[in-house]
Amino acid sequence: MSLPIIPDPGIALALAPALLRGLDGRIVFWGQGAESLYGWPAEAAIGADAHALLATEFPIPRTQIEAVLRQTGVWRGELHQQARDGHRLEIAAHWALLRDAAGQPSAVLELGTDITAHRLAAAELARMSAMIEACEDAIVARDSAGRIISWNQAAERMSGYSAAEMLGRPVDAVVPAELAADEARLLARVHRGERVERYETTRLHRDGGRVPLSVSLAPIYDSDGQLVGSVSIGRDISRRLSGQKALRETRAELVHLSRLSELGQIASALAHEINQPLTAIGNYVSGARRLLASGNTAAALTALERVSEQAERGAQIVQRMRDFMRKRAIEMRVDDLPEVIDEACTLALIGVRDRPVRVIRRLDPAARVAVLDRVQIEQVLFNLMRNAIEAMAGAPVQELTLATGRRDDGKVEVSVADTGPGLPEEVRRRLFQPFVTTKPNGLGVGLSICRAIVQAHGGELSAEDPPGGGTVFRFTLEAPPPPTGEEGADR
């Protein structure tokens, strides 16, 4: 077989990813560029059938390609070929039909550009784009000037604005005016190369509503490592916040019901407690009548003053019970701890005045105030005191010790100690779990509710049996922050 006469390929063609084949398909020229692309050396390639060597897969039948080549002299398209090591290549091919001096077809020049990496990158970009569009989180990318360059479907759903409306604009349209300064500050951090982990904020919806989001921010870099923009990922936390609100409301309801249950247990004792001032009032009124009848006006006035005192005493008892039962929102404030303890103690001692219960107070002046909700902490103290009083029933020594102190970590500690028999081991292991109780008719929810209240105050509730006997319950509360500025200077 005689090889076709071809022009001098020259240095440029030798370096290009090109081959020259005769009309019979056999390779007659194989340059360095082709060797680099396909891996075959020239001595192995020349004389071989080009498309058998490269295992070419054509996008359309080869006969159609050859027909276009003969008719127009060129063909362009994409092929799949195989390198010497077996890996597949995607090739952007450019074929040209060469003619001899007489104008007759003599050879075909094939130039191939490897677009495998481009195709893989395009496929990966398409995959990532599909993932971003399918993501339930709002993903928004901005360029270095803060203009939006990507706005996925989740961002459209959360904001009510389409991508077409937002692309090229700043994100200001969905940022509340009062949060604009914070948003600018966070974006400045990202433009310095920092990441901003999840923080909670709100965005404006097109309909005027607000959407609570948990947002993360991160910088975007190009292939040269230059910072070119930022991306934010926002998750709608409306359901989570609604769930937390429902949980708080349920817990508040449970705490309120617990107070009612506890008061139900001392209803008869309360009747006895109220009956005492009522009986005294009746006696003083009868005495005042006799004194007035005998003309002893001064003594009658004194008796009436005693009536007023007893009426006030009864009113105070009723008011304390009303405050204790009242259902209201949690109100955290700096409050007087000894006063809270005294009020809780008054309620807890209802009905036990005929028992030899001795109350000992050891209140540290350094722990005089704490940050608390008065009614809820009174409920904790009431529950702990009533438990202690019941635990000491029948004990030879019945001492209820109420103590406060300031811990090394700055928190205020409150303790309620009794001289009872201590806690059974099987109860101690599950003490703060619901429905665990030593009382024959108890539900076993009091201590679990007490712990929930204390934890909501940022503290902890624990129990221990000291070496001398009895049980000590301790819980912590936050101390108020130290005074600053002029207020601190005045003190």
Using an 8 Å Cβ cutoff, are 147 and 58 in contact? no
Let me know the angle formed at the C-alpha of 79 by 76 and 80, rounded to the nearest 5 degrees.
170
Residue 252 buriedness (CB in 10 A; 0-12 / 13-18 / 19+): middle
Where do the domains of the chain lie, and which CATH numbers do they carry? 10-119 (3.30.450.20), 135-236 (3.30.450.20), 244-314 (no CATH), 330-491 (3.30.565.10)
Q: Which of 167, 168, 169, 174 is nearest to 152 (CA)?
A: 167
In whole angstroms, what is the distance from residue 491 CA to residue 299 CA?
49
Which residue did the predictor score with more confidence, 57 or 225? 57
**357-362 vs 398-406, strand pairing mode:** parallel
* Measured CA distances, 409 to 160, 459, 476 (Å): 49, 12, 11
Residue 201 buriedness (CB in 10 A; 0-12 / 13-18 / 19+): middle
In whole angstroms, what is the distance from residue 251 CA to residue 452 CA?
8
- What pTM did the predictor assign? 0.41
Residue type, 34: A
In whole angstroms, what is the distance from residue 478 CA to residue 5 CA?
97
pLDDT at residue 488 tops 70: no
245-260 pLDDT per residue, tens: 766 665 666 565 555 5
Q: Write down the pLDDT at residue 86.
A: 92
Residue type, 174: V
Beta strands in 9-145 (DSSP E): 18-22, 27-30, 74-82, 88-99, 105-114, 138-143
The H or E element that residue 303 is part of is helix 297-325
- Band (pLDDT 50/70/90 cuts) for residue 440 is very low
Backbone angles phi, psi at 363, to 5 degrees: -105, 120
Q: Write down the pLDDT at residue 435.
A: 42
What is the rounded average pLDDT of the residues 428-456?
64
In whole angstroms, what is the distance from residue 71 CA to residue 69 CA?
5
Q: Which of 219, 251, 211 is nearest to 235 (CA)?
A: 211
Tokens of 25: 């398909």
What is the rounded average pLDDT of the residues 354-366?
91
End-to-end CA distance of the chain: 112
- Cα-to-chain-centroid distance, residue 222: 31
Q: Which of 251, 262, 472, 243 is nearest to 386 (CA)?
A: 262
Which residue did the predictor score with more confidence, 128 or 401? 401
**Average pLDDT of the residues of the chain:** 80
Residues 6+ apart with CB under 8 A from 423: 431, 438, 463, 465, 471
Q: Is 357 helix (H, G, I), strand (E, B) or coil?
A: strand
Q: Which of 412, 416, 420 is nearest to 459 (CA)?
A: 412
Which residue did the predictor score with more confidence, 216 or 245? 216
277-308 pLDDT per residue, tens: 676 677 777 777 877 888 888 877 887 787 77
Backbone angles phi, psi at 7, to 5 degrees: -70, 160
